[in-house]
């Protein structure tokens, strides 16, 4: 009985000296093959520096297969077995792979791989030499025999599990795939080093969010995803309903036969014909069966056409819906969160928000995660400081919590990423400029042709924001006191009657990732603002209640969690930093 506990690869190769202290230790490890090569035994025996020369006594094809195991697949795909050359190749392929396999395996615990040394005498190498193969192996850590990046390797003496891969069908068989190529396989993508790194960063960041707020005496509250309140009338939101379930019309039938029934019958009949043909039955029987199949196919076609013609229609009567009223997916949990802030003092959440986005698809998803925080007895200044502290704390957590992943990603994708993170962390508070100052600064710009003219009152567009952070200040900046028209009705009106107490933190490359607002706590004021923007007061009755009874000044902010991950990883498309991205016409799985 084996009582050895599996070691995470991180615990072996994650240390500074690459795991040298483990030499001589017996370990049990599991993981997926990331890359591999096979050397003939003789070569290994005389190998001094890992030069990849094929030994003289191996036939050419065999040597090639050992060197480039993917060739096996190519041969299979091309189906060369039919001609003499192909037959020879296939014969080689079927042959047992002799030699020593060097497998680099990873178990997701860190960005680094562990090198495995596996002898063909111990296990058939052709079953493990494919990218994506899972293995559970036991052996002794040795100093690496070959020069290179690996300081240690595991000499396997027990193979406990192999989960094979068919390299022709496995979509990640190629070793360097583009982000686009990975994206179409959401259920496999975390097996790539890149996406795994992003996911570890997300995880560390999630924990850092909770740590920051809990240590600053905020209480975590979950806010409902299903809501009957819509924070802004012009925002579209997804409907949640059970009304559509009632649309199941009666199945189309012809003489009591349904489409599904006939399709099953067709399968059965096809199988029967094949059997008849195989068993050398008389031609007549085959002919009759084929005629029968033809008739079934015609009937199926007829039924299909009928089904297509029928429109499924459902009556929209929300009083008959599950909640007895119109319900949506929450676009913004902020309003609900205020009610809990006005009781618990300081609250935060990390949860999903939903919107059927149609624009800026590289930065927005239908389903995104956000951090919301709200504090009472707090004004704009307080929220700005808290948001800045939070941003710095989160950025720092990544640099200390997963430095290898950040390093890997910045080397591979965006080498300026680390600099941008350092700009957040650098000494001193972030520059704070009022909206008015920002507009004035942008109006003075002569060397950049903005698509939209800069005028006081406009919503600062992506290009304006980018110019402020990337060009003018060259670091993240806070812009505050926006015109009331560009911010939500619940933003607190300043004494100038023109601007509201709201701010954005604008990050280089990605733009606005943090939005903050001091909420309007004066009842008469918020009522008039609701009318001003054309909303119905009745809909916000419960929200106004918070101002009617024991109202307090309160302010908070929202961090777009997914966009923050974009900033920290340097990725340009939000779909690459989210496990199962949901965008228009794209909700696979």
**Region 323-352 residues binding its own copies, contact defined as CB under 8 A:** 323-325, 327, 329, 336, 339-340, 342-346, 351-352
Residue 550's contacts (CB-CB under 8 Å, 6 or more residues apart) are: 342
Would you count residue 219 as binding its own copies (CB under 8 A)?
Answer: yes
Among 76, 142, 183, 238, the residue binding its own copies under the rule CB under 8 A is: 238
Output 336 or 420, the one with its CB closest to its own copies. Answer: 336
Would you count residue 367 as binding its own copies (CB under 8 A)?
Answer: yes
End-to-end CA distance of the chain: 40
Would you count residue 483 as binding its own copies (CB under 8 A)?
Answer: no
Output 95 or 320, the one with its CB closest to its own copies. Answer: 320
CA torsion through residues 138, 141, 147, 149, sign: positive
Residue 116's contacts (CB-CB under 8 Å, 6 or more residues apart) are: 29, 101, 102, 103, 104, 105, 135, 137, 139, 153, 154, 156
* Torsions phi, psi for 41 (to 5 deg): -60, -40
Selection from 415, 417, 436 nearest residue 496 by Cα: 436
Scanning residues 103 to 142, which ones bind its own copies (CB under 8 A)? 107-109, 132-134, 136
Scanning residues 37 to 96, which ones bind its own copies (CB under 8 A)? none
Tokens of 419: 């600099």
**Cβ-based burial of 470 (10 A; exposed 0-12, middle 13-18, buried ≥19):** middle
Output 188 or 413, the one with its CB closest to its own copies. Answer: 188
Would you count residue 164 as binding its own copies (CB under 8 A)?
Answer: yes
Tokens of 128: 């493990």
Among 25, 145, 206, 297, the residue binding its own copies under the rule CB under 8 A is: 206
Least separation in angstroms between CB 198 and its own copies:
11
Scanning residues 387 to 426, which ones bind its own copies (CB under 8 A)? none
Q: What DSSP state is assigned to residue 471?
A: I
Specify the pairing of strand 152-163 against strand 114-119. parallel
In this structure, the chain runs to a length of: 589
Tokens of 215: 């240590």
Least separation in angstroms between CB 572 and its own copies:
21
Least separation in angstroms between CB 346 and its own copies:
8
Helix H, strand E, coil C: the string for 436-462 is HHHHHHHHHCCCCCCCCCCCCCCCCCH
Number of residues that bind its own copies (CB under 8 A): 110
Query: Near its own copies by CB under 8 A, which window of 49-57, 222-230, 251-259, 447-455?
Result: 222-230
Least separation in angstroms between CB 32 and its own copies:
5
Output 23 or 179, the one with its CB closest to its own copies. Answer: 179
Distance CA 92, CA 463 (A): 60
Least separation in angstroms between CB 136 and its own copies:
6
Among 181, 432, 552, 573, the residue binding its own copies under the rule CB under 8 A is: 552
Would you count residue 297 as binding its own copies (CB under 8 A)?
Answer: no
Among 15, 35, 214, 253, the residue binding its own copies under the rule CB under 8 A is: 214
Would you count residue 30 as binding its own copies (CB under 8 A)?
Answer: yes
Among 78, 207, 411, 525, the residue binding its own copies under the rule CB under 8 A is: 207
Would you count residue 196 as binding its own copies (CB under 8 A)?
Answer: yes
Count of CB atoms situated within 10 Å of the CB of 264: 11
Would you count residue 8 as binding its own copies (CB under 8 A)?
Answer: yes
Least separation in angstroms between CB 316 and its own copies:
4
Scanning residues 173 to 192, which ones bind its own copies (CB under 8 A)? 186-191
Q: What DSSP state is assigned to residue 589?
A: -
Residue 378's contacts (CB-CB under 8 Å, 6 or more residues apart) are: 386, 518, 553, 554, 555, 556
């Amino acid at each position: 009985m084996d009582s050895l506990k599996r070691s995470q690869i991180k615990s072996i190769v994650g240390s500074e000296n690459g795991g040298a202290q483990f030499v001589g230790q017996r370990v049990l490890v599991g993981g997926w093959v990331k890359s591999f090569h096979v050397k003939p035994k003789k070569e290994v025996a005389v190998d001094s520096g890992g030069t990849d020369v094929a030994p003289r006594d191996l036939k050419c094809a065999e040597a090639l297969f050992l060197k480039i195991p993917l060739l096996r697949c190519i041969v299979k795909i091309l189906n060369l077995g039919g001609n003499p050359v192909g037959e020879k190749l296939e014969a080689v392929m079927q042959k047992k792979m002799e030699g020593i396999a060097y497998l680099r395996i990873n178990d997701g615990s860190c960005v680094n791989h562990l090198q495995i040394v596996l002898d063909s005498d111990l296990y058939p190498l052709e079953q493990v030499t494919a990218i994506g193969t899972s293995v559970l192996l036991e052996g002794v850590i040795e100093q690496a025999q070959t020069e290179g990046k690996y300081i240690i390797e595991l000499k396997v003496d027990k193979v406990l599990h192999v989960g094979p891969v068919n390299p022709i069908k496995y979509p990640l068989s190629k070793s360097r795939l583009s982000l686009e190529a990975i994206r179409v396989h959401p259920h496999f993508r975390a097996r790539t080093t890149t996406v795994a790194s992003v996911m570890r960063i997300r995880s560390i960041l999630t924990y850092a969010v909770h740590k920051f707020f809990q240590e600053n005496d905020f209480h975590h509250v979950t806010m409902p995803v299903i809501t009957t309140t819509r924070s802004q009338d012009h925002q579209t939101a997804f409907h949640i309903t059970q009304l559509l379930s009632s649309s199941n019309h009666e199945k189309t039938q012809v003489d009591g036969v349904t489409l599904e029934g006939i399709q099953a019958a067709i399968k059965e009949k096809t199988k029967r014909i094949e059997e008849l043909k195989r068993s050398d039955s008389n031609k007549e029987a085959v002919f009759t069966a084929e005629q029968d199949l033809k008739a079934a196919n015609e009937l199926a076609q007829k039924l299909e056409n009928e089904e297509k013609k029928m429109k499924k229609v459902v009556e929209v009567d929300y009083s008959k819906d599950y909640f007895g009223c119109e319900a949506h997916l929450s676009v913004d949990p902020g309003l609900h969160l205020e009610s809990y802030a006005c009781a618990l003092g300081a609250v935060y959440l990390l949860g999903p928000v939903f919107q059927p986005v149609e624009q800026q698809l590289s930065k927005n998803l239908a389903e995104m995660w956000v951090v919301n925080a709200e504090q009472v007895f707090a004004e704009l200044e307080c929220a700005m400081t808290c948001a800045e502290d939070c941003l710095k704390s989160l950025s720092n957590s990544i640099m200390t919590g997963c430095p290898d992943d950040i390093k890997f990603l910045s080397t591979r994708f965006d080498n300026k990423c680390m600099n941008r993170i350092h700009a957040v962390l650098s000494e001193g508070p972030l520059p704070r400029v009022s909206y008015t100052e920002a507009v004035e600064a942008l109006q003075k710009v002569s060397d950049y042709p903005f698509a939209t003219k800069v005028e006081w009152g406009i919503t600062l567009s992506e290009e304006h924001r980018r110019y402020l952070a990337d060009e003018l200040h060259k670091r993240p900046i806070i812009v505050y006191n926006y015109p009331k028209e560009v911010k939500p009705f619940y933003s607190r009106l300043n004494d100038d009657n023109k601007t509201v107490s709201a701010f954005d933190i604008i990050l280089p490359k990605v733009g606005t990732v943090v939005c903050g607002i001091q909420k309007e706590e004066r009842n008469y004021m918020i009522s008039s603002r609701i009318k001003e923007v054309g909303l119905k007061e009745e809909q916000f009755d419960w929200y106004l209640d918070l101002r009617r009874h024991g109202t307090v000044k309160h302010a908070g902010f929202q961090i777009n969690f997914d966009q923050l991950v974009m900033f920290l990883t340097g990725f340009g498309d939000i779909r690459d930093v989210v496990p199962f991205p949901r965008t228009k016409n794209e909700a696979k799985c």
